[in-house]
Structures are given as structure tokens and as C-alpha cells.
Amino acid sequence: MTRRAEFEMGLFVVLQFMFMLYLCSSEELLPEISPDTSPQPFLPFIAPSPMVPFINTTIPKLSGLCSLNFTASEGLIQTTSHNCWTVFAPLLANVMCCPQLDATLTITLGKASKETGLLALNRTQSKHCVSDLEKILVGKGASSRLRSICSLYSSNLTASSCPVINVDEFESAVDTSKLLLACEKVDPVKECCEQACQNAILDAATNVTLKASEPLTDNSVRISDCKNIVQRWLATKLEPSQAKETLRGLANCKINRVCPLVFSDMRDISGNCSNELSNQMGCCGAMESYVSHLQKQALITNLQALDCATSLGTKLQKLNITKNVFSVCHISLKDFSLQVGSQESGCLLPSLPSDAIFDQDSGISFTCDLNDNIPAPWPSSQSSASTCEKPVTIPALPAAASSQPGLYNEGVTRFGIFVLSLVLVILLS
Ligand SMILES: *[C@@H]1O[C@H](CO)[C@@H](O)[C@H](O)[C@H]1NC(C)=O
Ligand SMILES: *[C@@H]1O[C@H](CO)[C@@H](O)[C@H](O)[C@H]1NC(C)=O
Ligand SMILES: *[C@@H]1O[C@H](CO)[C@@H](O)[C@H](O)[C@H]1NC(C)=O
Ligand SMILES: *[C@@H]1O[C@H](CO)[C@@H](O)[C@H](O)[C@H]1NC(C)=O
Ligand SMILES: *[C@@H]1O[C@H](CO)[C@@H](O)[C@H](O)[C@H]1NC(C)=O
Ligand SMILES: *[C@@H]1O[C@H](CO)[C@@H](O)[C@H](O)[C@H]1NC(C)=O
Ligand SMILES: *[C@@H]1O[C@H](CO)[C@@H](O)[C@H](O)[C@H]1NC(C)=O
């Protein structure tokens, strides 16, 4: 983490503390605990509106040189600013912030193409638009480091290496009815396994690259750039809310496939956990300490936690640790996520796309699923980490392979976790 971010976080926490002290010293200001957030097992405090002073909803001074109509994407931009909220943006980058920013750009460019007939901006325009959008988002409370957090470049709005940006030309190069049929109704659960829409996008992007005047031996970068163009075109054909859902759904298929956590050196575990677990306490101590470092990295989805358990287990097995130390040391899936509150409760985000919720009274919060203790599965040789062939049926996981939307909500504990407490816990632990 950069120094600036640390500073921002530090300052934030200092202010939080001052606010808490203020709250505690004035009885009548103590927050009412709203009934719909019960049960309240672990929140150290629930502060009313401490975030509000941090929102500087200024009207930013824009370049005037960007032709995109950001007003028409107001709702998307608002959600992006919440998902990318100042200090939380790095923690939510992978799951909420950047995918939402990406969807916002894609939909905004799609809208613009209805007027201009073009699915991309030129470099000059693009620079101004990225800078303007950044100003708008920061003005609404988003992190000022979005460019580095989300790898946002001006090339994100251009054609990059894709040879076709003209809508008419695009539609003549692509079997549009086939593309629409595959993508107009995307079931976010089914799609991750069946990849019908993803394959149609790839197919369309490949067909578009064939329009290039100079063929390349390696077309992969070009195809990837054309996929963005295809998505912008798709966004014009879908209802705005449906476009967002589809794009976020497609993004989540990718997100859920990999564990985003960085695994550091495992020397302590291998030293303590080998020898047929002669020293169980030492081993579990080392495991706990290792996992507690993982917990500080990011908020992850429940399916990502499953990936992370598989990654860690596989790495441990490579170190000749054959005993299921997850089970011996009671490591659960939620142990891989950020912990909230002093009673150690992990927050795993739902595997389906979700957004941060802003509320005047409680600030930023988001929904956590799976607060119960699902033991982390120890990878076995025949099991696969793939979401589609899940090795075990974990009841509280949203059935990724099932398309029944009802299943997703049933039996899943939901908590609105106030991120404020979260940051405090991260910093103080
Ligand atoms: C809000 O932002 C504007 C422009 O960036 C700045 O001049 C002003 O001081 C800020 N207000 C607060 C309360 O931070
Ligand atoms: C931008 O979009 C808004 C809402 O759709 C519309 O009212 C406004 O006229 C548009 N502005 C321009 C310059 O097209
Ligand atoms: C911008 O483009 C880069 C490189 O193609 C990509 O990694 C990044 O995710 C994009 N960012 C957004 C916000 O779309
Ligand atoms: C870029 O696009 C804008 C608006 O479409 C246009 O006014 C400008 O002349 C273009 N610049 C270049 C270098 O093509
Ligand atoms: C891409 O081109 C192939 C071969 O011409 C065609 O069969 C396919 O339908 C096209 N797909 C799309 C989505 O355009
Ligand atoms: C065992 O783990 C502890 C930390 O929990 C570490 O300090 C110690 O060096 C480890 N022992 C070995 C032999 O690796
Ligand atoms: C694991 O055990 C095998 C066989 O006992 C040995 O050859 C290998 O070096 C060990 N690997 C590690 C990382 O200790």
C-alpha cells in the first residue's frame, strides 16, 4: 500500500476515534440500532453519519472537452463512487469498484455511439474524458487513486488495437442476432459455467479482428481489445439496468475463478506443521498467524474464498503437509476474508455482483454472506477448484452450478457490515 493511502486511512481512523469519543460522551447522541440490521453479533459500534462529513459533493470543474454525457450515466456513476469509496477502494477494487467502473465506461460509451455512430473515442477525447470522469467520481467520494487501483488509462475509452469502431461496419462484420441471442438474457449463475454469452463475445471479437488491414500472427491482444468494442455495442442493445447486470455478471465469472490474495512465505507453517503434526498447538498457531495476514488484504467473495482455500491447501501439500491442517486447526472459509469486530466474524461477499450501499445515517455498508463457519475444504487429488464442478456441496454457498435464483437467497445469512468498524479492526489488529 502506498504511503498516501496509509495516511488517508490513518487520518480517517483518527477522525473516527474522535467521533466515537464524542458519541460516547454525549448520551443522547448514541446511535439507535436499527431493527433491520439484527442480529448484531459483532459490530463494535454503529456510528450514525460519520461518513457524511467526508463526502465533498462538489461540482467539479470539468475540461469541457469531453463529449460523453455523464449526466445520462448519473446512476451508474453514483454507484461507482460508493463502490470505490475513498479508503475502501483498495479493499473492494477487485470485486466491486473496478468492475463497476468498467461497466460504467462501457455503457457510457455505448450510449454515446447512438449519437456518433462510433464505439470508441480518439486519444485526445479519451484523455479528457478519463480525467473528467475521475473528477466527477472523486467529487462524489471515490478514491482519488482510481487510476492506479483500477488500471484506468485513456486507452480504456479508445479502440486500442481493434480495427473496427464504426457501428455500421461492426454490424456488417458480426452476426448480431446470434450475439444478441446469447447475451440478451444472461443468467449470472449459469453463464459462468456454460459461457454462452462469453463465447459469443469472443466469437464476435474474433470476426471483427478479421477486418484488420494487416493481419497479425498473434491476434490475442487485438481480440481482447475488440471484446471491449463488442461489449460497448451490446450495451446499446440492452436496457441500461440490464446492461449493467450483464456486464457485472460476466465480470464476476472471471472474478470468482481466482483467489486474489497474495500468499507470502510459508516457512513458519512448514516448520511447525510437518512431522505428522507432533506439535499441533505450534502448527495451529502458525496457521492462525498466517491466515490473519491473508485477512488484511481484501474483501473477497465466498467463491473466491473457496479458491483461496484450494490454493493454500495445494501449496501446503507441496510442502509435504499431508494432514488436513484446515480441519485440525478449524480453519473456515470466512477466515480468508476481512474480519469485522472483536469477535472475529469474517465478511464474505456474495458470489453474484453486489454494490456498496450508501446511507445518510450509517455511511457505507455492504452485504456479507456466509457468516457461519463453513470449514475450508482441504484439496483432494480428484477435486477441482472449478466453480462448475465444486468438490463438495457446501450448503451455505450459493449454488453456483444451479440456476435457481431462489436458492441464492435462502439459507444465506446476510449482514450489513459497517465498513467503518472494519477499517478500525484492520488497523488496530
Ligand atoms: C471540497 O472540495 C473543494 C474542491 O476540491 C475544496 O475547495 C473544499 O475545501 C472541499 N471541502 C471540504 C469540506 O473538504
Ligand atoms: C445528457 O443526458 C441527459 C439525460 O439523459 C439529457 O437530459 C441531456 O440533454 C443530455 N445532454 C446532452 C448535451 O446531450
Ligand atoms: C483498462 O484497461 C486495462 C488494460 O487493458 C485493464 O487492465 C483495466 O482493467 C481497464 N480498466 C477499467 C476500469 O476498465
Ligand atoms: C477527436 O474527436 C473529437 C470529437 O469527436 C473531434 O472533435 C477531434 O477533432 C478528434 N481529434 C482528432 C485528433 O482526431
Ligand atoms: C463469426 O464468423 C463465423 C464464420 O463466418 C460465423 O459462423 C459466426 O456466426 C460469426 N459469429 C459472430 C458472433 O459474428
Ligand atoms: C512456528 O511458528 C511460529 C509463529 O507462529 C514461528 O515464530 C516459528 O519460527 C515457527 N517454527 C518453525 C520451526 O518454523
Ligand atoms: C517432500 O517429500 C519428498 C519425499 O519424502 C521429498 O523428496 C521432497 O524433497 C519433500 N519436499 C519438500 C518441499 O520438503
CB 338 within 8 A of CB 24: no
- pLDDT above 60 (res 171): yes
Contacts of 254 (CB under 8 A, 6+ apart): none
Q: Does the structure show a pLDDT above 70 at 222? A: yes
Ligand 2 centroid – CA 102 distance (Å)? 21
Residue 305 has pLDDT above 70, yes or no: yes
- The position carrying cell 485513456 is 154
State which of 207, 209, 210, 219 you would mutate to test the pocket of ligand 5, scoring each by most atoms of that ligand within 8 A of its C-beta.
207
Pocket test for ligand 6, best of 264, 268, 319 (most atoms within 8 A of CB): 268
Cell 477486418: give the residue: 211
- CA 246 to each of CA 99, 159, 183, 197: distance values in angstroms, whole numbers, following the listed order: 11, 21, 8, 9
Ligand nearest to the CA of 284: 6
Amino acid occupying residue 324: N
User: Contact at 8 Å (CB) between 330 and 14?
Assistant: no
For the chain, the 3-state helix, strand and coil shares in percent, each to the nearest 5, are 55, 5, 40
pLDDT at 366: 79
CB 366 within 8 A of CB 357: yes
Burial of 319 (0-12, 13-18, 19+ CB in 10 A): middle
Give the torsion sign (CA, 253, 180, 202, 234): negative
pLDDT tens track for 138-153: 999 899 999 999 999 9
**Nearest protein Cα to ligand 1, atom 1:** 56
Instruction: Please check whether residue 335 is in contact with residue 373, taking contact to mean a CB–CB distance below 8 angstroms.
Output: no
- The DSSP secondary-structure symbol of 211 reads T
pLDDT beyond 60 at 396? no
Question: Residue 174: is it exposed, middle or buried by C-beta count within 10 angstroms (0-12/13-18/19+)?
Answer: buried
For ligand 6, atom 6, the nearest C-alpha belongs to 268
Atom 6 of ligand 7: nearest residue by CA position: 320
pLDDT band at 343 (very low <50, low <70, confident <90, very high): low
Average pLDDT over residues 353-366: 81
Question: Distance between CA 399 and CA 102 in Å, rounded?
Answer: 27
In the predicted structure, residue 50 carries a pLDDT above the cut 70 = no
Q: Which of 101-105, 246-250, 260-264, 333-337 has the lowest mean pLDDT?
A: 333-337
- Rounded distance from Cα 160 to ligand 5 centre (Å): 22
Q: DSSP labels for 251-273? A: HHHHHTTS--PPP---HHHHHHH
Per-residue model confidence (pLDDT) at position 21: 34
Q: Are 305 and 333 in contact (CB under 8 A)?
A: yes
366 strand-pairing partners = 417
Q: Name the pLDDT band for 45 (thresholds 50, 70, 90).
A: very low
Q: Which residues contact 404 (CB under 8 A, 6 or more apart)?
A: none
Is the pLDDT confidence value at 56 over 80?
no
**Residue that the C-alpha cell 507432533 belongs to:** 278
Which position has the grid cell 464505439?
119
d(CA 302, CA 387): 11
What ranges do the domains of the chain cover?
A: 35-46+261-412, 73-255
Is 56 a pocket residue for ligand 1 (Cβ < 6 Å)?
yes
Of 20-34, 252-266, 295-309, 358-372, the poorest mean pLDDT is in: 20-34
* CA 260 to chain CA centroid, nearest Å: 10
What is the model's pLDDT at position 369?
73
| CB atoms closer than 10 angstroms to residue 93 | 24
Q: Output the nine-digit C-alpha cell for 165.
A: 469502431
Q: Which three cell numbers stand for residue 304?
A: 473466491
Per residue in 63-90, pLDDT (tens digit) is: 989 999 999 999 999 999 999 988 889 9
Distances (CA, A) of 308 to 116, 210, 287: 45, 39, 14
Q: 317: CA distance to ligand 7 center in Å?
A: 10
Burial class (CB in 10 A: 0-12, 13-18, 19+), 241: exposed
All residues at 6 or more sequence positions from 11 whose CB lies less than 8 Å from its CB, including other chains: none
- The rounded Å distance from CA 126 to ligand 4 centre is 10
CA–centroid distance, 180 to ligand 5, in Å, is 13
Q: Is 148 in the pocket of ligand 1 (CB under 6 A)?
A: no
- The residue written with cell numbers 457505507 in the block is 364
Q: Please give the Cα distance from 125 to 354 (Å, whole number).
A: 31
User: Cell for 352?
Assistant: 453474484
Compute the distance between CA of residue 229 and CA of residue 159 in angstroms, rounded to an integer.
Answer: 7
Q: Which residue puts its alpha carbon closest to atom 10 of ligand 6?
A: 268
Residue 286 Cβ inside 6 Å of ligand 5? The answer reads no
Reported confidence tier of residue 232, pLDDT bands at 50, 70, 90: very high
Pocket of ligand 6 (CB under 6 A): 267-268, 271-272, 282, 285-286, 289
Residues contacting 29, CB < 8 A, separation 6+: 22, 23
This prediction's pTM: 0.81
With a cut of 70, say whether residue 325 has pLDDT above it: yes
